[in-house]
Structure 1
Amino acid sequence: MNYWSREEEDVVITAAIAGDELAFDSLFQRYLPLVNKWFRELNFKGRLLERDDWHQECRMVLMTTLERYRGRTVGEFATYYRLNVRNRGFDLRRRQQAQKRLHEEASESIEVQSADSHVCNLSSIEPDGLTRLELQDRLVYLCDQFSEFEQQVWWGLSIGLTIEHIAVHFQCSYTKVRNAANRCHGKAVTVLLASSGN
């Protein structure tokens, strides 16, 4: 690795902030050993990220670091970038752990439903064949009324996940999931009421 003086690094940083792609790439290559060190230290279990994906994450972190950097009077650029890389890695690892917990809880929910299958098994209610066909048609129609995201929320709710768990799983806000759940509920009521009125 070639040694840069602080003045030389400042010139490259200034150029990268101004949008010089070569300067940005040069700066990223300069800090690539640090990036790789954190990839090893974070030890992403189950390979949350491949190395190339981690590099891409760290490029975005570098972009953000450059936007927020206020010069050496505030602190060394290397220290600031290292802190931001570390924090991004911890965020990704926390997300991985949350997803792992979510999948475990989803698996437990499915097992509970299997043990208590009369809750969701239509055959245990023993409706006549025509009623079952009409119900299936209504359920297919209902799912067609959902957006793609509403379908995902509906699935999560149907296996017993909470709104919080669904939000973590799909990496979105609680409010977005709650609103989608409310829309699903409204559509379900409309479709099933129409069904009962036939």
Structure 2
Amino acid sequence: MTPVIFDLNEKLEDVEAFEEKNGLLAVEGEAFHYNSNNGSPRKFYVHEKGGKFPFTSHDDHLKGASGDAYIEAMPDTRKTHDDKLIVGENFFPVPGIGGMVSYKVKINTPGTYYVWVRAYSTGPEDNGLHVGVNGEWPESGQRIQLCKGKHNWTWSSAQRVPENHCGYAQTITLTFDKADEYIVSFSMREDGFELDKWMLVKDKSYIPE
């Protein structure tokens, strides 16, 4: 299996981009410009205050969510190690083959940025995600992992690796070669992933709270 490359530039040509300023960009998860199941049986759905979520038997984690909303990869059929793992249905080891959300951004300060996600995890099988730019999926953006802070909204920029499944802090990055507009995309790794907010941060010493 190989990462699927996308080109959304034409589709999002008239969309106003989220703008990076002074090496920082913060975007609400539910503010996506593009959302697709990508031909898979999974898609990101919006939980929002006062809204109707299409899955009834499911926990609500709106408390503490930024903007009173978040998105979740649904349906969620693999919650524990005992639940059957089905590649292409509830597990997507390769980026770009599962449900995906995309955001148009304007980068004023080129360079490498740390990617942070604010997520909510309740178990061992709802804490993986991929991130890419302009339809490509660099190794540095694959396998975002969230282990700490279970049952709370928690920031992570850790990448899962064979020797450390929880990943090392601040190892998820994207590089923007020039000041320009780009499309940042998040692709499912595990169903049930809950995304509240994400950030691009140029300064490694900056830790979101």
Q: Which bin holds the TM-score, normalised by the shorter protein?
A: under 0.3
Question: TM-score with structure 1 length normalisation?
Answer: 0.19
Question: TM-score with structure 2 length normalisation?
Answer: 0.19
**Larger relative contact order, structure 1 or 2 (CA cutoff 8 Å, min sep 6):** 2
Name whichever structure is richer in strand by fraction.
2
Q: Which has the larger radius of gyration?
A: 1
Name whichever structure is richer in helix by fraction.
1
